[in-house]
């Protein structure tokens, strides 16, 4: 068995939080992650922050990708981060955010614990490479 085969696939939860019903981007990134060899779990639509936290903890994910287009990112994302901290899962979970996130909101989200923010038009290869380089070693 090669070293590559011996390594566990990067586990990713692609999550839609809140009332945002736009899921095309979440489906596209889920497929791209799967094609890159990641193990992908998709949350489906309309999840509360605590449901996302529960899924991330129960699935023991390496990466939590939150897709949000509703404009509620400053409210919902910190709740997810707080939940991960409460369960002791924050330190070993890479948190990435995708969607239309205004520049003025990005520093606060990073300060809250988001590792990277990818806006519309970001090449899939850039997101995949970021995950490969930054996902926690397990």
**Model confidence pLDDT, tens digit, residues 7-41:** 689 999 999 999 888 899 999 999 999 999 999 99
- Res 5 pLDDT > 60: no
Answer whether residue 66 shows pLDDT above 50.
Answer: yes
Query: At residue 2, does pLDDT exceed 50?
Result: no
Report how far residue 15's alpha carbon sits from residue 99's, in angstroms, rounded to the nearest whole number. Answer: 12
- Spatial neighbors of 6 by CB under 8 A, at least 6 apart, are none
Q: Token match 């924050």: residue?
A: 90
Chain-centroid distance, C-alpha 79? 14
pTM: 0.93
Residues in the chain: 138
Cross-strand bridge partners of residue 75:
none
Q: Average pLDDT of the chain?
A: 93
**What's residue 8's pLDDT?**
81
- Residue 114 Cα to chain centre, angstroms: 9
């Amino acid at each position: 068995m090669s070293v590559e085969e011996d390594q566990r696939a990067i586990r990713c939860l692609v999550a839609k939080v809140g009332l945002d019903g736009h899921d095309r981007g979440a489906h596209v990134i889920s497929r791209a992650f799967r094609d890159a060899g990641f193990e992908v779990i998709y949350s489906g639509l309309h999840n509360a922050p605590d449901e996302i936290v529960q899924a991330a903890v129960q699935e023991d994910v390496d990466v939590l990708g939150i897709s949000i287009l509703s404009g509620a990112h400053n409210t919902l994302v910190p709740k997810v981060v707080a939940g991960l901290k409460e369960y002791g899962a924050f330190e070993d979970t890479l948190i990435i955010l995708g969607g239309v996130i205004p520049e003025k909101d990005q520093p606060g989200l990073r300060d809250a614990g988001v590792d990277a923010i990818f806006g519309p038009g970001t090449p899939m290869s850039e997101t995949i490479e970021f995950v490969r380089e930054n996902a926690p070693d397990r």
